[in-house]
Copies of this chain bind each other. A is one copy, B any other.
Amino acid sequence: MAEPSTLDPAIAARLKHDEHGLVCAVVQEDRTGEVLMVGWMDDEALARTLSSGRVTFWSRSRQEYWRKGDTSGHSQHVRRVQLDCDGDALLVRVHQVGAACHTGARTCFEAGGDLPVVVGAAPEGEPAGEGPAAGEPAGNGPGAAS
């Protein structure tokens, strides 16, 4: 990390950083639900993202902050940021201007493309968005398999 972070200490305390001080940030287009890209944030990149309305990452390859769109014009405007249950991933919902991917593709996953899969089938009668069935345990504690 290049400088002391301005992140709210109460938020910083909830983050589970990797050994480089980073958490992964999944960026989703708020209007369509498309997953656009995955980037990385240290505390200062998250602080800037939360406070400025623009998404800022930490570039692992260049070892510098990177405010999305400053070079390309393809900026990401923050709509919502959520932390996951164990503090090591962020979901950043944005309005994306132009292409999210540096290749010019709409998303980085369009750019990389499909891997060949055997498609799996859920048991019959499983509706979309179903919650836990009645009588099932609510969970197995932090870090448990589920």
On chain B, the residues within 8 Å of A97 by CB distance are 122-123, 126, 130
Contact with B along A12-55 (1 / 0, CB 8 A): 00100000000010101101111101100000000001111110
Does the CB pair B38–A140 fall under 8 Å?
A: no
* Interface size range on A against B: 35 or more
Distance (whole angstroms) from the CB of A7 to the closest CB of chain B: 10
Chain A residues within CB distance 8 Å of chain B:
11, 14, 24, 26, 28-29, 31-35, 37-38, 49-54, 59, 61-62, 66, 68-75, 77-91, 94-95, 97-99, 101-106, 108-123, 126, 128-133, 136-146
Known: A81-B114, A102-B145. 13 other contacts (CB 8 A): A24-B24, A33-B33, A34-B129, A53-B121, A77-B122, A78-B118, A80-B114, A83-B113, A86-B112, A95-B122, A101-B139, A102-B146, A104-B137
